[in-house]
Structures are given as structure tokens and as C-alpha cells.
Amino acid sequence: MKVIRIFGAPYSSTTVLGFIINTAPGFLFGSEIYRLLPAYTKRLNKPAICHFCGNMCNVWSPQLIKEIVSQNIKYVDETYAIFGKHNEQVQCLVDSSKAIDRYSGEAGNYIDLVASKHPIRLLSSHFYHRRKDFFGAEDAIDFEVFRKKLDECSDLVAKVANTVSREQYLRYEAIFTKLQSFTLLKNDNLHQANFARLRELEVFLGVKSESFDPINFSKYEAHTIGGNRMPSNQRSKYIGAKNQIHNPRIQYYETAESLGDFKIDDKYRIIFSPKTLSIVQKSTWYRRLCEQLSYNPWPN
Ligand SMILES: [Zn+2]
């Protein structure tokens, strides 16, 4: 079994990339597999479970999960052999555990992808995630209300922009330094030229042309174990009534401009006023992050 490891910053669309690769025959996207590690499940006090099948999953079976939990596994790459033993039908497992320090550093049969997104997009998600810093509460807040609040907090915006950009810069630096070779994917450009970059990825991975189906990825069978949002149509099936919880981020993605299931993330245009945007763009670490990932600090 081969393994694709997806590295990158939080909110760099590693989940979408995983779901797209999941559409090719023989590929299985497991999402953030580090969430299976005993250290993580102990901290959360709940075992990992398939988002789609719950305990009834044939891929992430209770036996497989029990085997991983019962062993003293510290690093995510140490779970792959156990997974392969239980899932001989899977030719390539896709893991989006993202951070390099979740891996042992041992050599293995890996294809490494690094996902990025324009730092302004990373920051708009991070700002919203850290809304407690601005509002003192973690409750869901409508993007328009959040925009007004950020507009009133210039000093805090400058501070958070610098801190978050620095965190992400250091994360990418560790990834770039430690990986022997990797393919960099700018996920916010993936849809351009009729998904040309994905077609290149197919050639690179040795799969048949147009195996990936970015327009309909949520219609394929999926078994993800942790961390992220599943495609919204699957989510409402799985969560049912609980999906009614007010969440502006989910609402945004349901209405965002899209090519089928591939959503264009432009929520920074809603969250950041021109004033906030200019404060972010003056941040030293934001500019360094843009340079590191080869993005123009002034997005189009
Ligand atoms: Zn499942």
C-alpha cells in the first residue's frame, strides 16, 4: 500500500484535496489520521470514529481502531501498516495530518504533498477561529458582525495577524526543511484552467487521466476519521437535526461561489474591511509568509 501524506497549514484546504483524491479508484482519504493516536484520543476522551459509518465502518473497523489504540503508537506513520493489514483493497491511503512533528521521521513509501493557500485566506479562517480573542466568547458570530468588530480593533488585528502568520511560517519552514522531496499545491488555484494542476497531479501519481472528480467529490464513498468538515450534503445526512446549529462558516461554504463541489474561498472579502486588510498586509510575518509561499501580499 502506498501512502500520500498531505502537509500544510490549518485551513489550507487539505480536506478538499483529500476528498478529491478519494474519487480515484483504489485511493482512500482517511483525513487527519493522527487523531487515532492514543495520546490524542486520551486527551479528547473519545475514540476516533468514521464520520460516515460510525462504529459500523468496514474500513475503520472497531478491531482496527482497537489495535491502534492498544499499541503504544506515538507517530501517525506507525499506524499505516496496521491500516494496510486490515484493508488490502486500499492501494493508496491519503493522510492529511498536516504537521511534520506528527511523524517519526523514518523513511517510508510516501508521496508527500504540501498544500498552501493565499495567506489572507488562511488568516480569515484563523481570525474567525480565534474570535474569542476579539469577542471574549467562542459563540458563532455572523461574518458581518465580525467584520465590524475587527474594524474597531486595529491593534489586536495587527497582533493576531503577526502571531498567526509567524506560526504558519514556522510550520511551513519545518515541512520544507524536513521533507526530502514534495509537490507543492496551491489549493486556491486548483480550479484554474479547468483543474489543470489536478491533471498534472494525476500524471505524477500515475493514475488515469481525469480520475479525479473535483466537481462531484462529495458523491463518492468516503471514510474519514477525524478533524474536518465532510462535504455538506453528506454532513446533513450524518448529523441530521444537529446540523441546524447556526454556523456562519458552514453557511458561507454552502453559498460560496463554486465549481460543483469545489468551493472558492473568498470569505476574507466579507470578514476583512479595507482598513483591516491594510493592517494585515503591513504585518511583517504576513509578508514573510506570502514570500515563503510565493503569493503577492495584495490578493486580487
Ligand atoms: Zn466508514
In Å, how far are 54, 62, 253 from 50, measured between CA atoms?
5, 10, 22
Quick check: is 64 in a domain?
yes
What is the CA(68)–ligand 1 centre distance, in A?
16
Domain count, the chain: 1
Q: Flag whether 81 is in a domain.
A: yes
Give the model confidence (pLDDT) of 68-114 as tens digits.
988 989 999 999 999 999 999 999 999 999 999 999 999 898 999 99
pLDDT digits (tens, 9 = 90+) for 213-227: 999 998 999 999 876
CA of 49 to the centre of ligand 1 (A): 8
The reply to whether 241 falls in a domain is yes
Residue 229 falls within a domain, yes or no? yes
Q: Is the pLDDT score of 239 beyond 80? A: no
The rounded Å distance from CA 35 to ligand 1 centre is 15
Domain of residue 102, residue span? 2-292
Angle at 247 between CA 246 and CA 248, to 5 degrees: 120
For residue 297, tell me if it sits in a domain: no
Whether residue 291 is predicted with pLDDT greater than 80 in this model: the reply is: yes
Q: Is residue 299 part of a domain?
A: no
Is residue 167 a part of any domain in this protein?
Answer: yes
Distance of alpha carbon 44 from alpha carbon 104, whole angstroms? 22
CATH code, domain with 36: 3.40.50
Do 20 and 199 meet the contact criterion of CB atoms below 8 Å apart? no
As residues whose CB is below 5 A from the ion ligand 1, the structure lists 50, 52-53, 57, 223
Distance in Å, CA 53 to ligand 1 centroid: 4
CA 246 to chain centroid? 22
Give a yes or no: residue 298 inside a domain: no
Which tens digit of pLDDT belongs to each residue from 32-67?
A: 999 999 888 888 777 788 988 888 999 999 999 999
From the CA of 3, how far away is ligand 1's center (Å)?
18
Place of cell 506528527: 102
- Looking at the chain, the whole-number percentage of residues with pLDDT higher than 70 is 93
283 CA to middle of ligand 1, Å? 43
Res. 241: pLDDT tops 50:
no
Q: How far is the CA of 27 from the centre of ligand 1 (A)?
A: 14
Q: pLDDT tens digits for 164-175? A: 999 999 999 999
